[in-house]
Amino acid sequence: MPVALDEYPLHQAPLSMRYVASSDRNFYDRCYFNAHDRTGEVFLVTGAGIYPQLGVKDAYAVVRRGNLQHVVRCSDALDDERLNLAVGPYRIEVVEPLQRIHLVLDADEAGIGFDLTWQGSFAAIDEERHLLRTGVRPILDTWRFAQLGTWSGQLRVAGETFEVTPDRWVGSRDRSWGIRPVGEADPAGRPADDPNDFGFWWLYVPIRFDDYAIVLIAQEDGSGHRTLNDAVRIRANGRIEQLGWPRVRITYRSGSRHPEHARIELTEPDGSPLVLEVDTLAPVPLHVGCGYGGDPEWGHGQWRGRDWLDGATYDFDDPAIEARSPWGVVDHVGRATCNGDVGWGLFEHGTIGRHAPSGFADLGSVAP
């Protein structure tokens, strides 16, 4: 049977819009948002996705407040609605494409509620296509756009209410789709020839200043070979300028892989140097309750039954919880300086296993 979207000239394959062109079970279509008040005292990360080949849709919200990480996650059977995604108490309305988005979560009984409106401050930009292989097999093949903006509305967490105003509350968002590991794990297949040689290093830094924004993305293997690289500046008038090949130096907390500061050397279009310095605040490990890779409790796309809703709180003063932090990607509030300008945004970083440029020799290596 056709679906409502089949009425519109949107098709890119000889299929109903109910179906995706890829037969890969890991096809996904997802959105991500973050919001903070430029203090590092409260940090919201939230998102939702659909998994057409798995018949699942889900959403999550996490708030870091002090040493506590409050999480709400929900999941349901996928339906044919695509224009305004809803998963139980979680709703997303596209008010004005690429500019204004309305998010609602009515799950105060599970720990978090909000009614928030996103307003883009700069043009949304396409990032480089992301292709990652394990051996000869693609495990990531995705496309994504990103945007910096402001928030208004209300955020409620663990009995506290925050009035969210655009003069203080900022953030970034992205939309991505394609292939990535989702749902129940695929069979492992042949193991790596040398597990100790495994290395994953990831950096994503969207930062906004008053008159421009910078979006940087980089991924490297254990030897430091860069497999993804993109760095651009978005001007208030929409002009996009490439900023060369970023040289990144991260200072990690001694005895850990927790990033405290980064110096990122960029290149202006005229060849002159441009330096971005970023300090990190309010870490949110995305694999602790949020469903991202390495989360032992729940993963995006997993079937949990109809109308599933769950809430949890993680105390990072608990050594068992803190010990989980290094084993995935961690989002931080980022405070940045560039040419004397002060900016705020996201510092997303993960490094697991070997990374020779950082001095990490294996899975157990930490900063001296």
User: Which are the contacts of 238, defined by CB distance < 8 A and separation ≥ 6?
Assistant: 122, 123
Residue 193 has pLDDT above 70, yes or no: no
Residue 364: inside a domain, yes or no? no
By three-state DSSP, how is residue 233 classified? strand
Averaged pLDDT of the chain:
95
Burial of 32 (0-12, 13-18, 19+ CB in 10 A): buried
Residue 129: inside a domain, yes or no? yes
**How sure is the predictor about 40, in pLDDT bands with cuts at 50, 70 and 90?**
very high
Residue 5: inside a domain, yes or no? no
Residue 39 has pLDDT above 70, yes or no: yes
Q: Strand order in 226-235's β-sheet?
A: 240-242, 226-235, 212-221, 199-208, 341-353, 330-338, 273-285, 259-267, 247-252
User: Which are the contacts of 317, defined by CB distance < 8 A and separation ≥ 6?
Assistant: 67
User: Which pTM was predicted?
Assistant: 0.96
Residue 220 has pLDDT above 90, yes or no: yes
> Which stretch of 39-53, 121-135, 192-206, 323-337 has the lowest confidence by average pLDDT?
192-206
**How sure is the predictor about 294, in pLDDT bands with cuts at 50, 70 and 90?**
confident
Residue whose pair of structure tokens reads 């999550």 in the numeric block: 60
The pLDDT score that the predictor gives to residue 31 is 98
Residue 24: inside a domain, yes or no? no
Mean pLDDT of 286-307: 96
Q: Which amino acid is at 225?
A: H
Domain that holds residue 252: 29-185+194-358
Residue 365: inside a domain, yes or no? no
pLDDT digits (tens, 9 = 90+) for 79-111: 999 998 999 999 999 999 999 999 999 999 999
Please report, for the domain that includes residue 152, its CATH number: 2.40.370.10
Residue 8: inside a domain, yes or no? no
Residue 256: inside a domain, yes or no? yes
How many domains is the chain built from?
1
Residue 17: inside a domain, yes or no? no
Mean pLDDT of 229-252: 97
The pLDDT score that the predictor gives to residue 214 is 98
Residue 195 has pLDDT above 70, yes or no: no
The pLDDT score that the predictor gives to residue 188 is 75
Residue 4 has pLDDT above 80, yes or no: yes
The pLDDT score that the predictor gives to residue 257 is 97
